[in-house]
């Protein structure tokens, strides 16, 4: 009943508002899995990413944007609901969002209920957090999750991933033995150590999934252009998520031996041991040591693979931008591009995401609004939950009143420099929840005890540890300053921020439908 009321209220507002006319912008919504700011437009001197640069020229590029939890499912659940993880209750890769928060209205669902045709392809929601239709209530038409149209000159990739000869030969034998299904097939490939962490086959872009996803995205733009309703087209790319696989030509863009390794590969001094992890996601692949340091030659291979995948996605982005041009939609379409979180490439001696540190929480955010002439960069703290209310305002769509995010439109229009003093990310370890507050200069992390049942506490008085990093003097997070008397004033400010934040979160949680 509550959800029905919210939907009816939104629709009535749409009908009543004269501002919601036929010229509402289309929205192209692009997700890039595991994307950290290794892009030339973010100042990276190595990355070859001309299409990201092309998008940056027409956008506000947020250089201090952060996910709400640095792992796929929780991050995407928060971004697409506008709610922080403690409210979505999605902290892992198995909880179904609508099972624990049945009252939620997602961003595409809200747009669909208010006059948009919503369609998508690839990875937008994490499939483990939603139904088998990539959250059916979000879409006007079936979401394209499987049955991608690959290049017919090549066999379909093994497990939707590999094009190597060994993998294809192994698959034939596995299928001949009667084995079916993704899970059993993957286990047999792993047993043969064919679950490789990198691959560089000389194949067409759409012989791999992201090339096929891009072409589906192009078809959706083409099909929905010129219709009576504006569209919301979501395109979710899977790279640079592990394994690092891209056509050979993208690997050839980089010289492996010249790629620098992470400068600081140790834990920060005076930091809690549990703030880190053992890079288990990476270690699940063939050829990766089960424990201990990653050898330098393997580090370079992984970094090479990450850059190759980013350049591969850059080309696919270009196809989408080209199609907007071809359909004369560039000046009629808002574009939002985001990565669901960052990625550790050996810094602190760890790989993958799953922390409250800068390399895990910080991820690119581009917002291009044709009607707003201001372009450039903005370094104010931004959370990905801010995307939902921003797109509602830009599309003249009523935003649900219970969102945690704040609209970035005042920043986009140049009326405000910032909408918040700090961005909040969080990540738990056992019976502790770490909340990271990132301002313009400092990051403060407080580790709190969890209540019985796994819910976060509502007061900093339950803290078990603190971390403080100064990016002006220590951009690599080499020393935890929380015990430094010289930082007492800064520490007090962030403790006050944290008490304010946790108190507000508990208030919002208490007001949720039961």
* DSSP letter, residue 371: T
Rounded Cα distance between 37 and 376, Å, is 16
* Buried b or exposed e, range 287-308, using 16+ CB within 10 angstroms: ebeeeeebeeebbbbbbbbbbb
C-alpha closest to that of 82 among 109, 62, 61, 119: 109
Q: Which of 343, 340, 394, 387 shows the shortest CA–CA distance to 122?
A: 340
Beta strand ranges found along 267-413 (DSSP E):
333-339, 344-345, 351-352, 365-368, 376-378, 382-383
Cβ atoms of 39 and 52 closer than 8 Å: yes
Other residues' Cβ atoms within 10 Å of the Cβ of residue 3: 15
Closest by Cα among 254, 353, 359, 350 to 305 = 254
Rounded-to-integer distance, Cα 179 and Cα 91, Å: 33
From first to last of its 514 residues, the chain has per-residue pLDDT tens of: 333 333 433 433 333 333 344 589 999 999 999 999 999 999 999 999 999 999 999 999 999 999 999 999 999 999 999 999 999 999 999 999 999 999 999 999 999 999 999 999 999 999 999 999 999 999 999 999 989 999 999 999 999 999 999 999 999 999 999 999 999 999 999 999 999 999 999 999 999 999 999 999 999 999 999 899 999 999 999 999 999 999 999 999 999 999 999 999 999 999 999 999 999 999 999 999 999 999 999 999 999 999 999 999 999 999 999 999 999 999 999 999 999 999 999 999 999 999 999 999 999 999 999 999 989 999 999 999 999 999 999 999 999 999 999 999 999 999 999 999 999 999 999 889 999 999 999 999 999 988 755 555 555 668 899 999 999 999 999 999 999 999 999 999 999 999 999 989 989 998 998 7
Neighbours of 262 (CB within 10 A): 18
d(CA 206, CA 221): 18
Please, what are the domains in the chain?
2-151+203-421 (3.40.720.10), 155-201 (no CATH), 425-510 (3.30.1120.10)
Six-digit token pair at 126?
Answer: 């994490």
Residue 454, CB-side half-sphere exposure with 13 Å CA sphere? 11
pTM of the predicted protein model: 0.94
133 DSSP 8-state letter: T
Instruction: Name 344's bridge partners.
Output: 352
Radius of gyration of the chain from Cα atoms?
A: 22
CA distances for 66 relative to 62, 364, 385, angstroms = 10, 8, 9
Distance CA 471, CA 493 (A): 17
Q: What are phi and psi of 448, to 5 degrees?
A: -110, 150
| Residue 88 DSSP code | H
Contact 157, 163 (CB under 8 A): yes
Number of DSSP helices (H) and strands (E) in the chain, helices first: 16, 17
* CA 500 from centroid of its chain's CA atoms: 26
Which contacts of 486-489 are long-range, i.e. CB under 8 A and separated by 24 or more positions?
Answer: none
- Helices 209-224 & 296-326, crossing angle to 10 degrees? 20
Strands 333-339 and 26-32: parallel
Q: What is the pLDDT at residue 454?
A: 56
Match 């409250």 to its residue by tokens: 356
**Which phi and psi (to 5°) does residue 469 adopt?**
-130, 140
Q: What's the pLDDT at 379? A: 98
List the one residue out of 340, 475, 377 whose CA is nearest residue 43: 377
Contacts of 115 (CB under 8 A, 6+ apart): 14, 20, 24, 229, 230, 397
- State the residue for tokens 């099972």: 99
User: 382 phi and psi, to 5 degrees?
Assistant: -135, 140
Locate 492 and state its tokens: 């007090």
Regarding beta strands 198-199 and 65-66, do their DSSP bridges make them parallel or antiparallel, or are they unpaired? unpaired
Distance CA 278, CA 290 (A): 9
- Straight-line distance from the first to the last Cα atom of the chain, in angstroms, rounded to the nearest whole number: 12
DSSP 285-298: SBTS-SSSPPPHHH
CA distance 505 to 511: 10
- Helix (H) / strand (E) element for 119: namely strand 117-122
């Amino acid at each position: 009943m509550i959800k029905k009321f919210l939907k009816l209220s939104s629709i009535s507002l749409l009908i009543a508002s004269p501002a919601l006319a036929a010229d509402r912008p289309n929205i192209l919504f692009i997700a890039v899995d595991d994307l950290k700011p290794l892009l030339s437009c973010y100042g990276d001197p190595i990355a070859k990413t001309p299409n990201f640069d092309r998008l940056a020229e027409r956008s506000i590029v947020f250089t201090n944007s952060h996910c709400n939890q640095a792992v796929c499912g929780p991050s995407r659940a928060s971004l697409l609901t506008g709610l922080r993880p403690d409210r979505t209750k999605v902290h892992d890769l198995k909880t179904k969002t609508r099972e624990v928060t049945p009252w939620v209205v997602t961003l595409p669902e809200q747009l669909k209920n208010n006059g948009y045709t919503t369609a998508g392809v690839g990875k937008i929601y994490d499939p483990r957090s939603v139904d088998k239709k990539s959250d059916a209530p979000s879409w006007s038409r079936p979401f394209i999750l499987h049955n991608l149209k690959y290049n017919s000159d090549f066999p379909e990739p093994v497990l939707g991933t590999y094009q190597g000869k060994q993998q294809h030969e192994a698959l034939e034998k596995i299928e001949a033995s009667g084995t079916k299904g993704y899970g059993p097939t993957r286990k047999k490939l792993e047993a043969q150590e064919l679950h490789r962490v990198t691959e560089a086959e000389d194949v067409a872009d759409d012989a791999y999934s992201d090339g096929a996803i891009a072409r589906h995205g192009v078809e959706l733009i083409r099909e929905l252009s010129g219709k009576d309703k504006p569209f919301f087209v979501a395109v979710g790319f899977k790279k640079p998520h592990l394994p690092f696989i891209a056509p050979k030509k993208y690997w050839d863009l980089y010289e492996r031996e010249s790629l620098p390794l992470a400068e600081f590969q140790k834990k920060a001094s005076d930091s809690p041991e549990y703030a880190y992890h053992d890079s288990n996601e990476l270690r699940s692949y063939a050829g990766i040591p089960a424990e201990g340091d990653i050898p330098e030659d393997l580090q370079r291979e992984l970094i090479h693979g990450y850059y190759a995948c980013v350049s591969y996605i850059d080309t696919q982005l270009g196809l989408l931008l080209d199609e907007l041009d071809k359909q004369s939609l560039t000046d009629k379409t808002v574009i939002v591009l985001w990565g669901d979180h960052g990625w550790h490439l050996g810094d602190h001696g760890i790989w993958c995401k799953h922390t409250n540190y800068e390399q895990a929480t910080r991820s690119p955010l581009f917002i291009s609004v044709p009607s707003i002439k201001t372009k450039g960069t903005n370094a104010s703290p931004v959370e990905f939950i801010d995307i939902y209310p921003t797109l509602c305002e830009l599309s003249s769509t009523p935003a649900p009143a219970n969102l945690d995010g704040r609209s970035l439109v005042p920043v986009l229009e140049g009326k405000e420099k910032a909408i918040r003093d700090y961005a909040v990310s969080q990540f738990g370890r056992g019976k502790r929840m770490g909340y990271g507050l990132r301002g313009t200069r400092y990051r403060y992390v407080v580790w709190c005890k969890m209540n019985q049942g796994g819910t976060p506490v509502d007061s900093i008085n339950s803290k078990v540890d603190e971390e403080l990093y100064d990016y002006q003097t220590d951009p690599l997070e080499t020393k935890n300053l929380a015990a430094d008397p010289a930082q007492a004033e800064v520490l007090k400010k962030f403790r006050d921020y944290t008490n304010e934040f946790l108190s507000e979160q508990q208030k919002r949680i208490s007001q949720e439908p039961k």
